[in-house]
Amino acid sequence: MWFTYCSGESLYLKAELDTYFKAKTPITPDINEAIFAKYIAQAMVGGADQATRQKLDDANGRQAKTLNSVMSLVASGAQGTEGFAQALDKFKNEMDTIDNPKLAAAVKSMFAETHKMAKLNAELQRKIAATSSDIGALKNYLSVIRQDALTDGLTDIPNRKAFNQRIGELTASLKLKSGYFCLLMTDIDRFKAFNDKHGHVVGDQVLKAVTKTLAKNVREADFAARYGGEEFAVLFPNTRLKDAIAIAEKARNVVRAKDKQNRRTGENLGKVTISIGVAEYSIGESIEDFIARADTALYLAEQIGRDRVMSQLDLPR
């Protein structure tokens, strides 16, 4: 937080801290934690826009680099002081053979002060190392928090927030270079009725099973997320519409191929099917319009019978 204040990365954080300084109000641990949570932690778990998160990541990198440099300098200083103390120790032993009390006393005094400085440097190095360890632990903790904030708790795949970030990155990249990507929107057919009949526990089992099937039937570069409720979204980078439709058909067939069972009772729950809408991004269109196009194709698939794949090509012109 203080690195961010000194670097001027966040004008709002700086302004709030300056009000405390002007009022000569002590920055207590509670105030420190509150300001950190408001301006730093929130941004690091995905609450800020991409540019702000990038600035924070850059600031963290500079902070780590600066801290490592300080540690290196302290370590070098400690080693140099220790070497100097050893040289003085040797010189002191040699001076003990010379009958000059004043010179011997001066050397002993220098020797004592040098050892004291070496001890202080060693303590400083220990404290900086401990601080570095604490910062590393905090960064790991924030990384876990950020990951949790972007992961769906039930299905353990990226959530709506993570999806919004990823689709934003893909559209932004196409402003810098030519390319293409597709979006698949899918719904579990008649899931509400299924939940009402079998209960939410069994419904959660089906959500997890469909998630696993989708994850197994998309490519490593693709991005599958739980969009909300029983709806999922998959982003296909560098993929044309016809190829995305083929992947969608494969996933649909795999989902419906095997009857689902209640894990607790063994009851056969029958087949679960999904409806899918697919669209390809058009350069320059808004993310909202792009998602709406895929969602409209999904709605069309549900309206004409479910358990099918429809694309933007099937929509009225």
Q: What is the pLDDT of residues 229-283, one digit of tens each?
A: 999 999 999 999 999 999 999 999 999 987 777 777 778 888 899 999 999 999 8
Domain of 174, CATH number, reads 3.30.70.270
pLDDT for residue 55: 57
List, as one string, the DSSP characters of 197-256: HH-HHHHHHHHHHHHHHHHHTS-TT-EEEEEETTEEEEEEET--HHHHHHHHHHHHHHHH
pTM of full prediction above 0.95: no
Report which secondary-structure segment, H or E, holds 275: strand 274-280
pLDDT for residue 216: 87
Distance, CA of 287 to CA of 171 (rounded, Å): 8
Instruction: Please tell me whether residues 176 and 297 are part of one structural domain.
Output: yes
How many separate domains does the chain show? 2
pLDDT for residue 123: 79
pLDDT for residue 146: 72
Range of the domain at 239: 160-314
Show which of 149, 183, 214 is a domain's final residue: 149
pLDDT for residue 68: 60
Distance, CA of 88 to CA of 258 (rounded, Å): 82
Instruction: Please tell me whether residues 141 and 179 are part of one structural domain.
Output: no
> What residues have CB less than 8 Å from 230, skipping those under 6 apart?
187, 188, 191, 207
Among 82, 230, 285, 302, the one annotated catalytic: 230
Instruction: Please tell me whether residues 143 and 178 are part of one structural domain.
Output: no
- Is 285 among the catalytic positions? no
231 belongs to a structural domain = yes
Instruction: Please tell me whether residues 11 and 145 are part of one structural domain.
Output: yes
Across the chain, mean pLDDT equals: 80
Instruction: Please tell me whether residues 190 and 50 are part of one structural domain.
Output: no
Burial class (CB in 10 A: 0-12, 13-18, 19+), 24: exposed
pLDDT for residue 147: 73
Residue stretches of the chain with pLDDT short of 50: 47
Residues forming beta bridges with residue 294, ordered by sequence position: none
Instruction: Please tell me whether residues 66 and 21 are part of one structural domain.
Output: yes
